[in-house]
Copies of this chain bind each other. A is one copy, B any other.
């Protein structure tokens, strides 16, 4: 057996199924497959696959964040556009979190409430609540979406927002890896009918190159926001280029601790999924095991907020390919506690689609032919190499 695996323990306890299936004996690698991680063109892929059942032990806990709970707002540069917009379905709040580590805490609700003066005139109700998202009879899903500046950014966000529009009782945390908010994204959010909060999740400059961790600073900014603003609900990480059947969200909403479900188009296997027998998770089917205890895709699990807070609200590690694994380990979840969704993981309702990257556009000339026609207005909606103009 490949030394990278910690497998085949506790088989009998989870249904008697032989839970380790070695498709090839190739050594699990620490390098993640390009297709598995959605980063397009780096990394190598295991050519075979392994189905691995882990013995879940109490892991090391990530204490990065849990000690910083009450000394908020010291390091934050706080941008506000619609102060208390968290409450309103048609407005946005802009928060900036400094790059970790150490992670600066997000703004407190009271700060948001104080920023209400210019907020959301069309929704007077929104100013009454100063404690985070709206209360609902149904569980709120906190969808954390990392994003970054690129030509197709607004298109991707538009498409995802239209899926989320079909899901009630959802709060969308759009977290941009940028030094300052991208004007086009704010403009998009201004007309977005999904209840949302805009956050800055600027990546640390210490990580560079093709193999740097991507989306971690964004996701952690979202997690910190949840820690401060939410007491219950469910957390889900939804990249803006993936595809989601809106029906998965009603299942995600039922998550009591940690739920998992299949993700299509991941690695050469075409799917990454827990293996389920008699309603219990008995292993994982994924094209890139690499010694991970939880070889799952970022879009393949959801976490209950109360459970998350009870486990001291860990953040995601800056470890390429091991973000999901590190985060899930820190939650100290046992295999028999994992809740399989999507009809016991028999349906693919989430896909790891990726969009072809386009180059920034050739600049429009500053002639009358551009400035005196509609082209002038379109100019602000196109990404050119040099910035916003």
Q: In the complex, are the beta carbons of B275 and A374 less than 8 A apart?
A: yes
Q: In the complex, are the beta carbons of A378 and B268 less than 8 A apart?
A: no
A165 to B164, CA, bound (A): 12
Q: In the complex, are the beta carbons of A362 and B268 less than 8 A apart?
A: yes
Which residues of B sit under 8 angstroms from A360, Cβ to Cβ? 270
Q: In the complex, are the beta carbons of A243 and B158 less than 8 A apart?
A: yes
What 1/0 mask marks residues of chain A from 286 to 315 whose CB sits below 8 Å from any chain B CB? 010000000000000000000000000000
Stretch in A16-24, A76-84, A96-104, A199-207 touching the partner: A16-24
Q: In the complex, are the beta carbons of A362 and B270 less than 8 A apart?
A: yes
> Contact check: which of B277, B362, B367 meets A372 at CB < 8 Å?
B277
Q: In the complex, are the beta carbons of A378 and B21 less than 8 A apart?
A: no
Q: In the complex, are the beta carbons of B373 and A275 less than 8 A apart?
A: yes
Q: In the complex, are the beta carbons of B358 and A152 less than 8 A apart?
A: no
Stretch in A62-70, A231-239, A250-258, A340-348 touching the partner: A340-348
Which residues of B sit under 8 angstroms from A276, Cβ to Cβ? 373-374
What 1/0 mask marks residues of chain A from 375 to 387 whose CB sits below 8 Å from any chain B CB? 1011001111000
Closest to A165 in B: B166
A35 at interface by CB-CB < 8 Å: yes
Q: In the complex, are the beta carbons of B344 and A374 less than 8 A apart?
A: yes
A52–chain B nearest beta-carbon distance, Å: 12
A369 to B16, CA, bound (A): 11
| Docked complex: A207-230 residues within 8 A CB-CB of B | none
Which residues of B sit under 8 angstroms from A40, Cβ to Cβ? 356
A51 at interface by CB-CB < 8 Å: yes
A275–chain B nearest beta-carbon distance, Å: 5
Which residues of B sit under 8 angstroms from A274, Cβ to Cβ? 374
Q: In the complex, are the beta carbons of B243 and A378 less than 8 A apart?
A: no
A186 at interface by CB-CB < 8 Å: no
Max chain B CB contacts within 10 Å: which of A264, A274, A340, A374? A374
Which residues of B sit under 8 angstroms from A163, Cβ to Cβ? 159, 162
A20 to B356, CA, bound (A): 32
A9 at interface by CB-CB < 8 Å: no
Which residues of B sit under 8 angstroms from A159, Cβ to Cβ? 159, 163, 243, 353
A369 to B378, CA, bound (A): 55
Which residues of B sit under 8 angstroms from A381, Cβ to Cβ? 264, 271, 347-348
A362-B166 CB under 8 A given contacts A17-B372, A345-B378, A354-B356 = no
Q: In the complex, are the beta carbons of B359 and A268 less than 8 A apart?
A: yes
> Contact check: which of B21, B265, B354, B364 meets A369 at CB < 8 Å?
B21
Closest to A384 in B: B270
What 1/0 mask marks residues of chain A from 10 to 34 whose CB sits below 8 Å from any chain B CB? 0000000111010100000000000
A273 at interface by CB-CB < 8 Å: yes
A262 at interface by CB-CB < 8 Å: yes
A355 at interface by CB-CB < 8 Å: yes
A159 to B51, CA, bound (A): 30
Which residues of B sit under 8 angstroms from A124, Cβ to Cβ? none
Max chain B CB contacts within 10 Å: which of A49, A273, A358? A358
Q: In the complex, are the beta carbons of A265 and B373 less than 8 A apart?
A: no
A residues apposed to B, CB below 8 Å? 17-19, 21, 23, 35, 40, 49, 51, 151-152, 155-156, 158-159, 162-163, 165-166, 243, 245-246, 262, 264-265, 268-271, 273-277, 282, 285, 287, 340, 344-348, 351, 353-356, 358-362, 364-365, 367-369, 372-375, 377-378, 381-384
Can you report 5 residue pairs joining A to B where beta carbons are below 8 Å apart?
A21-B367, A268-B361, A269-B362, A271-B361, A285-B375
